[in-house]
């Protein structure tokens, strides 16, 4: 049975909400008094009213759906490629010699700098947007999985061999479970990068999606709509992180830290 938390801890956890609430109140006050012009930044109350109106009209859900699918497809492609490359390089010396130098070169190239090249190759439709997201999410998955495989305790592998396990059984029962925490860490990084790249990719001649709404709002100086879309981007990133945390709790239930947290 875990001991009861001291009263001061409860107060500190509640105090964490004071600064965000105070910031929102100051923002609202500054907007109401004219210190913050509406063209510079709309008031929080205006942002909430605008969001409610966009939800009722269906404008926000329909464009959110488009952005969500762009991020999901790009992330799925990047995760798949990164996982395959990480497994090939981590489990094989030949794969390491062939794949790792190329991926390390890729890491030094800013993904945003590739957007003009992707436009030349794929045009200005959906393909370059998805390609940017996919390309950016490969490396976090690859690097963390590669390091996770190489970081598995050699004594565990030796113990598995002493029990007569074959190479494929060692990979399946020892190496991959040992590398799973690193893979999930890489996936968490890739999720955040996917949202960042979604913001950038949707500036490429988008005719739908959150980026399309932001571009239109910029032309009409609607800061309330811009803030609404930024909030949705943040919610997408936070929701993805919470999803990975939930997967970690289930997939890594065998880890001592998880057992202690649940006890």
Q: Pick the closest to residue 112 from 205, 189, 186, 198 (CA basis).
A: 198
φ, ψ (nearest 5 deg) of residue 34: 90, 0
- Look up residue 61 and give its two tokens: 């859900």
Whether the CB-CB separation of 206 and 129 falls below 8 Å is answered with yes
Q: Which residues, including other chains, have CB under 8 Å from residue 61's CB and lie 6 or more apart?
A: 55
pLDDT tens for the 263 residues of the chain, in order: 455 555 545 555 566 677 778 888 888 888 888 888 877 888 888 889 999 999 999 899 999 999 899 999 999 999 999 999 999 988 888 888 888 888 888 777 888 788 888 888 888 788 888 999 999 999 999 999 998 888 888 888 888 888 888 888 888 888 888 888 888 888 988 988 898 888 888 877 778 888 888 888 888 888 889 989 888 888 888 888 888 888 878 777 766 555 444 55
CA atoms of 188 and 237, how far apart (whole Å): 10
pTM summary value:
0.79
Quick one: pLDDT at residue 104? 82
- All structural domains of the chain, each given as residue ranges with its CATH number in brackets, are 43-262 (1.10.3720.10)
Instruction: Record the tokens describing residue 191, joined without a space.
Output: 């999720």
Residue with tokens 């997967």: 247
CB atoms within 10 A of CB 220: 8
């Amino acid at each position: 049975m875990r001991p009861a938390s001291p009263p001061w801890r409860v107060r500190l956890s509640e105090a964490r909400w004071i600064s965000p609430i105070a910031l929102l109140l100051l923002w609202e006050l500054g907007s109401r008094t004219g210190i913050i012009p509406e063209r510079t930044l709309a008031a929080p109350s205006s942002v909430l009213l605008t969001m409610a109106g966009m939800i009722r009209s269906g404008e926000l859900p329909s464009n959110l759906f488009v952005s969500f699918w762009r991020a999901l497809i790009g992330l799925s492609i990047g995760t798949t490629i990164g996982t395959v490359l990480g497994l090939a390089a981590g489990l094989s010396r030949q794969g390491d010699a062939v794949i790792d130098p190329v991926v390390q070169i890729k890491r030094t190239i800013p993904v945003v700098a590739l957007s003009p090249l992707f436009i030349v190759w794929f045009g200005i439709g959906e393909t370059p947007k998805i390609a940017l997201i996919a390309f950016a999410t490969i490396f976090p998955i690859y690097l963390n999985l590669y390091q996770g495989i190489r970081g598995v305790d050699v004594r565990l592998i030796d113990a598995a061999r002493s029990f007569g396990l074959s190479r494929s059984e060692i990979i399946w029962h020892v190496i991959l479970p040992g590398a799973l925490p690193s893979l999930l860490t890489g996936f968490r990084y890739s999720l955040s990068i996917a949202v960042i790249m979604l913001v950038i990719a949707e500036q490429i001649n988008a005719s739908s999606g959150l980026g399309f709404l932001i571009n239109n709002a910029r032309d009409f100086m609607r800061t309330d709509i811009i803030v609404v879309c930024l909030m949705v981007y943040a919610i997408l990133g936070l929701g993805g992180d919470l999803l990975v945390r939930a997967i970690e709790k289930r997939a890594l239930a065998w880890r001592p830290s998880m057992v202690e947290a649940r006890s």
